[in-house]
Amino acid sequence: KNQVEQSPQSLIILEGKNCTLQCNYTVSPFSNLRWYKQDTGRGPVSLTIMTFSENTKSNGRYTATLDADTKQSSLHITASQLSDSASYICVVSPNDYKLSFGAGTTVTVRA
């Protein structure tokens, strides 16, 4: 069964600090891995998408890494801002219509 596990389930950080979110997956075959940001009550918005040949990709203060051998990915948020408070969802694609979604990590940034 294709699975995507995210950790931690939630975390609280102070504004200006960094944090790292983890994603482990068992999806096979593998086409690409995506990270989405979802504000409360809104639809998810894409942050990054990486194929198996890419091991890092940045989008502003967000940097995603991928280790396709160990089937692990991380999302690093640098110099967090209050607007970073959201749920971050890891999504893995096996190259068809059926994406596998993680349950998300809820990040709360406090002033």
Partner 1 sequence: DGGITQSPKYLFRKEGQNVTLSCEQNLNHDAMYWYRQDPGQGLRLIYYSQIVNDFQKGDIAEGYSVSREKKESFPLTVTSAQKNPTAFYLCASSIGRTGTGELFFGEGSRLTVL
Q: Which of 16, 20, 42, 108 binds partner 1 (CB under 8 A)?
A: 42
CA distances (Å), 27 to each of 65, 99, 100, in order?
17, 9, 8
Whichever of 17 and 42 has its CB closer to partner 1, that residue is: 42
Residues 6+ apart with CB under 8 A from 97: none
Work out whether 10 is an interface residue with partner 1 (CB under 8 A): no
Work out whether 49 is an interface residue with partner 1 (CB under 8 A): yes
Residues 6+ apart with CB under 8 A from 1: 26
Beta bridge partners, 100, equal 92
Using CB atoms within 10 Å of the CB of residue 89, give its burial: 0 to 12 exposed, 13 to 18 middle, 19+ buried.
buried
Q: Which of 1, 28, 43, 83 binds partner 1 (CB under 8 A)?
A: 43
CB of 80: closest distance to partner 1 in angstroms? Answer: 23
Whichever of 24 and 100 has its CB closer to partner 1, that residue is: 100
Q: Which residues bind partner 1 (CB under 8 A)?
A: 4, 31-32, 34, 41-46, 49, 89, 93-104
